[in-house]
Structure formats: C-alpha cells, structure tokens
Amino acid sequence: MIIEHIAIWTNDLEKLKDYYVKFFNGKSNQKYRNPNTLFESYFISFDSGCRLELMTNPDIKEKHSQTNYIGIVHFAFEVASKAEVDLKAKELEIAGFPILKGPRITGDGYYEFETVDIDGNKIEVIAKKRAMR
C-alpha cells in the first residue's frame, strides 16, 4: 500500500502551488474549479508518486496554532544525500523560510531539517541513513 495523496487547505492557492513546484520540484496539473461551490484545487505530483492536493474555498477557516496538537504534524521529502539536505535548507533560508531545527542528525540516525511552507505546515527534508555512508 502507498500514500496516494495528502490534502492541504489554503487561503492562497497560487502561492502554495508555486512553493511546492519551485522548492520541491513538484509538477502541477491544471486548476480544478467548481463554479457552484467555488472550491478550487491543484494536484502537485512528485517523482515518488505521492501527490499533494492543495485546496481553497472562500469558507475555509484559519489554521490552528503551531504548538503540539492531535492530527498531522508534518510530512517529509527525501533527498539523496546529506549535501542535498544542506543545500535545500540554505535555499529555503535565503528565500525567507524559517529553519525550525537542523540540519542535524536525529536520534534515530537521519540527517534532516524542519521548515514550514507559506501556510505554516511543517515539512522535513531528510537523507536516510544509507545516504550518509
């Protein structure tokens, strides 16, 4: 079984789409728009096969705080090496996105950093242990 897609509500659909296309090499489909409900969405596809569904609607409510809560906490992108983790952290930092933790080696041996997208969704960028050998 694989994860097919993860859905994210946003108030700025175009900006969030551009973020995942620019910084994570996502490929976007054409925007879907339901004229009756005003729902709009994009699917962003990644080489792994997993997709993000980015969605907006005029009735969407603001997100809860970034403190700990029940629910999805973050999702992660894997890169091929420790050097790529460092490069992606630097790229995002230069673009003005905060690096919340790292880059660092975690207790379970991964090399990673944490950041957030334009809506504050937490993202990790990791190199698996095998990529650090």
Give CA–CA dist 55/32, Å, rounded. Answer: 9
The two most distant CA atoms of the chain are separated, in Å, by 54
- Domains of the chain listed by start with CATH number: 5-56 (3.10.180.10), 74-132 (3.10.180.10)
pLDDT 10s digits, 24-51: 999 999 999 999 989 999 999 999 999 9
pLDDT over 90 at 23, yes or no = yes
Give pTM, 2 decimals: 0.84
- For 14, 24, 71, the CA distances from 40, given in Å and listed in that order, are 10, 22, 23
pLDDT digits (tens, 9 = 90+) for 62-77: 665 555 555 677 899 9
92: number of CA atoms within 13 Å, CB side? 26
Please state, as a whole number, how many other Cβ atoms lie within 10 Å of the Cβ of residue 34: 10
pLDDT for residue 105: 94
Q: What percent of the chain has pLDDT above 70?
A: 89
Lowest mean pLDDT among 1-10, 14-23, 26-35, 58-67: 58-67
Tokens of 70: 């029940």
